[in-house]
Amino acid sequence: MARRYRVLGELGQGGMGEVLRVHDTQLDREVALKLLSKKHQEDAAFVRSFQAEARAAASLNHPNIVTVHDVGEHEGVHYLTMEYMDRGSLEVRVAKEGALPWPIVLGVLRDSSSGLVYAESRG
């Protein structure tokens, strides 16, 4: 994994672990790399659930769902790589700009609903 992904920066941290912006040297593209926290690495049931969710997400192809490229384990560290969204998250946008105008909110709700409907239709 260390040879394939070159770290470009940190995108965030959360309850599951951290997300890095990396360059995938094999495919020559930027991706987001999610690394499970040590606490979750040691929970076999959580790891199985993480892997199953990654495989399920990887089977989806929709413009409003982030594409999952890879899931795996390297030297005890479980990870997944996904499409890097260079426009950032809605959370960061709201933190920067404050409340968004209702036409923008409606567009976000329409797009996210479309992705959810698609995912639900595929189980």
Question: Which tens digit of pLDDT belongs to each residue from 62-106?
Answer: 999 999 999 999 988 999 999 999 888 888 899 999 999 999 999
Determine the Cα–Cα distance for residues 68 and 60; give it in Å rounded to an integer: 8
Q: Give me the pLDDT at residue 87, please.
A: 84
Total-model pTM: 0.85
Contact 65, 120 (CB under 8 A): no
Contact 96, 108 (CB under 8 A): no
- pLDDT tens digits, one per residue of 32-41: 999 999 899 9
Cα end-to-end distance, the chain, whole Å: 31
Q: Give me the pLDDT at residue 14, please.
A: 84
Per-residue pLDDT band for 15 (boundaries 50, 70, 90) equals confident
Q: Does residue 2 have a pLDDT over 80?
A: no
